[in-house]
Amino acid sequence: MIIPKVLESRTEYAGKIVSIRRDKLTRGDGNTFIRETAVASDAVGIVAMDDRGRILLIRQYRHPMGRPVWEIPAGRMDVEGEKPEETALRELREETDTEASSIQLLTLFLNSAGWTTEKTYVYLAKGLKDVPEFKRENEEADIEKEWVPLKEAAERVKSGEIDDAKTVIGILMTDSMGRQSENK
């Protein structure tokens, strides 16, 4: 496989959350082509599961979709030097007023390899306890929380009611882990 060589690279737009980079590439055959890439920080998602086998879902307004979305707690890795698991624990506290005593990486996935650099780490968090309420702002101020049995959450994925990618991946992986342990 030929890996194209970057001949030129420039930032077309630099925003708070995303930048757009325009690259001119060649495969070494004399022809060139242009690719635009959304450069974004990585993210985390957290499947927070209690001792009763329920997971914590949140519902919040997502402007790009123009509607509220059911999802697992999540956030951007936007604190310099913070490790993914630290971001996951921080975001869980900030979005849900919940703390976890253990956290396990379920997977790392590429959000959309054809146009963005963003990757998402998905964790399973257990040993949950409530912590003092965090002051939330903007669309996070209206977050709704719901504890849902894992099997019901998986059914919501299958019906299309839950359609957020990190949430779909986290729920289905956690559900699959549960079925594997039941079959042993």
Question: Cα-flanking dihedrals φ and ψ of residue 62, to 5°?
Answer: -120, 110
Q: Report in angstroms the alpha-carbon separations of 55 from 48, 63, 77.
A: 5, 24, 22
Nearest to 74 by CA among 83, 61, 87: 87
| CB 126, CB 177: distance < 8 Å | no
Which residue(s) pair with 19 in the sheet?
14, 39
Q: How far apart are CA 168 and CA 47, in angstroms?
A: 10
Residue ranges of the alpha helices (H) in the chain?
84-96, 150-159, 165-182
Q: How far apart are CA 1 and CA 178, in angstroms?
A: 39
Token pair belonging to 40? 């974004």
140 is annotated as an active-site residue? yes
Q: Which of 139, 140, 152, 182 is catalytic?
A: 140
Residues forming the active site: 140
